[in-house]
Amino acid sequence: MSPDAGRPADTRALDDWTTLLDALEHELTVTSATEAATTWTQPTVLGPVPRELVGRASRLLAAQRDRLAELETERRQTLEHLGALRQVAATDEPRGSVYLDASA
């Protein structure tokens, strides 16, 4: 018999959703550029979000969208910096012989 067998379905759903939201919030707050995020797989057996957790889930979604916007801004800035570096590198003069006259 599973440990959840004696608990009401509503309590199990609330616990399962709480666990999922905890994990997603943790990923959102601790994952940095040097830390690889875990691969997320969409749960298939949770069912709808319990009414008690709708506000929390909505806040998490808003925070994820904010983070996505931040990452997009950082990506654009990085591309601009790389473009500037490429332009500078294109103006560098060669520092040594470019051609060797082997006929002499």
Residue 94 backbone zone (phi > 0: left; psi -120 to 50: alpha; other: beta): beta
pLDDT of 7: 62
Q: Is the pLDDT of residue 6 over 60?
A: no
pLDDT of 1: 43
The token pair at 74 is: 């950082």
Note whether 31 and 37 are within 8 A (CB).
Answer: yes
Is residue 97 very low, low, confident or very high in pLDDT (cuts 50, 70, 90)? low
Q: Tell me, what DSSP letter sits at residue 5?
A: T
Backbone angles phi, psi at 32, to 5 degrees: -120, 180
Q: Is the pLDDT of residue 24 over 80?
A: yes
pLDDT of 101: 73
The token pair at 22 is: 């905890």
Averaged pLDDT score across all residues of the chain:
83
Note whether 53 and 18 are within 8 A (CB).
Answer: yes
Is residue 53 very low, low, confident or very high in pLDDT (cuts 50, 70, 90)? very high
Cα–Cα dist 44/46, whole Å: 6
pLDDT digits (tens, 9 = 90+) for 26-50: 888 886 655 666 677 888 888 899 9
CA 26 to chain centre: 12
Is residue 89 very low, low, confident or very high in pLDDT (cuts 50, 70, 90)? confident
